[in-house]
Amino acid sequence: MSALTERPARGVADDPSRSGSQRRRRTSVAAPWMLLGPFLALFVLTFILPIIVAVGSSFVRVSRKGVFGEEGVTTEFAWFSNYAQALENGNFIASIGRMLLFGVVQVTVMIALCTLLALLLESASAKWPGFFRAVYFLPYGIPGVIATILWSFLYVPGLSPIIDIAGAMGIELDFLGAGTVLWSIANIVTWTYTGYNMMIVVAQLKAIPGEVYEAAKVDGAGPFRVAASIQLPLIRPALILTTVFSIIGTLQLFAEPQVLQTVSPAIDNEYTPNLSAYTTAFAYNDYNVAAAQAVLIAVVAFALSFIFLRLTSRRAS
Amino acid sequence: MSETRSITTATSSKRAQRLSDQQGRPGGSRGMRVLVTGILVVVAVYFLVPVYWVVIAATKSTEDLFGSNGFLLGSEFSLWSNLHEVLTYDGGIFVRWFGNSVLYAGVGALIATYLAAAGGYALAKYRFRGRNLVFGTILGGVLVPGTATALPLFLLFSQLGLANTYWSVLLPSLVSPFGLFLCRIYADATIDDSLIEAARIDGASELRIFHTVGLKILTPALVTVFLFQLVGIWNNYFLPLVMLSDSTLYPITLGLNNWRSQVDRLPEFYELTTGGALLSIIPLAIAMIVLQRFWRGGLTEGSVK
């Protein structure tokens, strides 16, 4: 502080009203809010307000009087009746169950695959690691919708060379049937996000200091031993992070089933929780029940992430 | 002469370093190398198959698309006429969609990065009342599913008269809670308080200090945040689907799906869809390959710690 008063800076010295520690203190109180202000304003508009609107409208029932609602609209507090309606909808519950099954299988396969690829790429046995890393990462830049369009052409009989080739070998493939289409979607999601998750794991692997490997070598540890006892424990934080994001992503699944709907009759309008909420809002025009569904989806995503984090932290300690 | 020598020493020292690097890592025998590279090649084929298919499909006429094997070229090479059709159909609507995507993703990511940097810097470098509450709330935002807010956001924007405008997609794209989180961690670790204090003594205003000192040091983190946000907005489908009904405002994801949904009635949309998909993949594919090294750099500092 003494330095400040002794050495007033250029431009400040000739204006006594702007100099001095009082002004300095005031600006440093205001400064963080000026920097944060624009972000906070938009955050409130696009996160806080929508959440308030969603929670608010999920507790409200709008009823229209008259055949076409021409005699006015009344809004009343409806307690949990929208939630009850959402939870009584067997298709919505089934869609959540479907996503749990999907998540358990797809997230496990994807995390295992991305870990394996990262370990292989970072091992000395891999040739051209830069090239392979770029190829694996490439699908992340392709929007889910366009990825689904591409894969849907590989799933449709008559267009798909994969079905043709399998057919020539006497194997009949059906990617779009009731029993298989869920795993066809899982394939698209795995294809899109494995490389992205792999990059996070690779980043963590690169942060392991070389001395650790040297020490392991001196102790005579082979590559599998190094992977199991050094690399896997040290990339745990990255794996937990990618798993939590994948769980949240799974419950949001929308674009892939919605696009595949036109080629697969097995996908109905309530195939995933999000598709169900979208249908409720825009096909049935019931925004209040849709809001209740959106809140339920977010709560389930929160709960699952929380449970996963608790389980992994308990095992660590 | 001396220049070439310095280059050769540079490359040979690089090679020496890579060698010692590899010696430190596990693995290495010849059989192991063949096995590992073999696995990597098989996986690479899996990741490239759909891309390869669309490149081939975009060169075919409709008859060839159904009449010939999807992995082999057809009898006619109609790539240029297909692409011409894509670019001119419906008064060049594809170009418009592409431009919209560039606008949403480019402008959105740029402003989002700046706002996240300012916010993250403020939370890392100032002690003020409400700081932890603000940070905790924003951190909660990281875990809120994007699609959970899209629906209520539509209701809100409808009331404000913003639905079905450029703003309805652009405004939510300007906020990146994850970006702010990364910037805060990075600013905490890299920007020295004494540097800020020195700038204060020089008489720089707080905002000026952020713009000159802060942004400069944050640059590596900013590249990561920008790329995250760019890809996130470019790939977004649910938000524009909910918000937009005017097809001239569509981003490329929505536009292409609009074309694809018409293939059952009008088979010519097959060529439009495959050609359009090819054109939309090329810029992002190049960007991914070029930018993945920057990506890696930022991630280590941020998300993983």
Q: Which helix (H) or strand (E) holds B112?
A: helix B108-125
CA max distance for chain B = 76
- What's the Cα-to-Cα distance from B137 to each of A47, A253, B112, rounded to whole Å? 10, 25, 18
Whether the CB-CB separation of B122 and A252 falls below 8 Å is answered with no
Nearest-CA distance A77 → chain B (Å): 18
A81 in a structural domain? no
pTM (predicted TM-score)? 0.80
Whether the CB-CB separation of B200 and A71 falls below 8 Å is answered with no
pLDDT digits (tens, 9 = 90+) for A191-246: 999 988 888 888 888 878 888 888 888 888 887 888 888 888 888 888 888 888 88
Query: Does residue A297 surpass a pLDDT of 60?
Result: yes
User: Which residue in chain A has the smallest CA separation from B125?
Assistant: A32
A75 in a structural domain? no
Same domain membership, residue A105 and residue A16: no
Name the one residue in this structure whose structure tokens are 């392979």: A132
Q: What are the φ and ψ backbone dihedral angles of A84, each rounded to 5 degrees? A: -60, -45
A193 in a structural domain? yes
Residue A27: band (very low, low, confident or very high) from pLDDT cuts 50, 70, 90: low
Neighbouring C-beta atoms of residue A96, cutoff 10 Å: 18
Cβ contact B26–A213 (<8 Å)? yes
Vertex B140: Cα angle to B136 and B145 (nearest 5): 165
Query: Does residue A112 surpass a pLDDT of 90?
Result: yes
Taking the C-alpha atoms of residue B212 and residue B169, their distance in angstroms, rounded to an integer, is: 31
Using CB atoms, pick whichever of A140, A152, A252 lies closest to residue B288.
A140
Same domain membership, residue A303 and residue A186: yes
Handedness of CA B240, B242, B245, B247 (dihedral sign): positive
Same domain membership, residue A300 and residue A246: yes
Cβ contact B242–A3 (<8 Å)? no
Taking the C-alpha atoms of residue A234 and residue A222, their distance in angstroms, rounded to an integer, is: 17
Q: E strands, B22-166, where?
A: none
Q: Give contacts of B138 with chain A, Cβ < 8 Å.
A: 43
- The boundaries of the domain holding residue A22 are 2-58
For B273, the token pair is 């869809």
For B232, the token pair is 């996130």
A289 in a structural domain? yes
Whether the CB-CB separation of A37 and B121 falls below 8 Å is answered with no
**Cα distance from N-terminal residue to C-terminal residue, chain A:** 46
Same domain membership, residue A306 and residue A242: yes
Taking the C-alpha atoms of residue A126 and residue A114, their distance in angstroms, rounded to an integer, is: 15
For B52, the token pair is 């390869």
For B210, the token pair is 């952020």
| pLDDT score of B18 | 46
A72 in a structural domain? no
For A103, the token pair is 């998540």
Whether the CB-CB separation of B112 and B305 falls below 8 Å is answered with no
For A40, the token pair is 């906070």
Taking the C-alpha atoms of residue A257 and residue A259, their distance in angstroms, rounded to an integer, is: 5
For A172, the token pair is 């009949």
> For chain B, which domains are there?
90-301 (1.10.3720.10)
| pLDDT score of B296 | 52
Cβ contact A154–B49 (<8 Å)? yes
Cβ contact B66–A43 (<8 Å)? no
Taking the C-alpha atoms of residue B144 and residue A33, their distance in angstroms, rounded to an integer, is: 24
Query: Domain holding A149: CATH number?
Result: 1.10.3720.10
Q: Which helix (H) or strand (E) holds B213?
A: none
Structural domain count, chain A: 2
Same domain membership, residue A184 and residue A263: yes
Q: Give me the residues of chain B with pLDDT under 50, please.
A: 1-24, 26-27, 297-305
Same domain membership, residue A272 and residue A221: yes
Same domain membership, residue A120 and residue A51: no
User: What ipTM goes with this model?
Assistant: 0.79
User: Which residue in chain A has the smallest CA separation from B34?
Assistant: A125
pLDDT digits (tens, 9 = 90+) for A55-95: 888 888 877 666 665 666 777 777 888 888 888 888 888 88
Same domain membership, residue A212 and residue A110: yes
Q: Give contacts of B23 with chain A, Cβ < 8 Å.
A: 124
Q: Is B212 helix (H, G, I), strand (E, B) or coil?
A: helix
A180 in a structural domain? yes
| pLDDT score of B294 | 66
Q: Give contacts of A237 with chain B, Cβ < 8 Å.
A: 304-305
- Give the DSSP per-residue string, chain A: -HHHHHSPPTTTTT-GGG-SHHHHHHHHHHHHHHHHHHHHHHHIIIIIHHHHHHHHHHTEEEEE-STTSTT-EEEEE-TTHHHHHHHH-HHHHHHHHHHHHHHHHHHHHHHHHHHHHHHHHHSTT-SSHHHHHHHHHGGGGS-HHHHHHHHHHHHSTTT-HHHHHHHHTT----SSSTTTHHHHHHHHHHHHHHHHHHHHHHHHHHTS-HHHHHHHHHTT--HHHHIIIIIHHHTHHHHHHHHHHHHHHHHT--HHHHHHTTT-TT--TTSSHHHHHHHHHHTS--HHHHHHHHHHHHHHHHHHHHHHHHHHHHHH-
Using CB atoms, pick whichever of A36, A124, A146 lies closest to residue B256.
A146
Same domain membership, residue A112 and residue A25: no
A272 in a structural domain? yes
Same domain membership, residue A94 and residue A54: no
Over range A178-184, report the average pLDDT. 85
pLDDT digits (tens, 9 = 90+) for B8-56: 344 444 444 444 444 445 445 777 888 888 888 999 999 998 888 888 8
Name the one residue in this structure whose structure tokens are 């003594």: B201
Same domain membership, residue A304 and residue A175: yes
Same domain membership, residue A305 and residue A159: yes
Length of chain B: 305
Vertex A263: Cα angle to A257 and A269 (nearest 5): 45
Cβ contact A27–B206 (<8 Å)? yes
A40 in a structural domain? yes
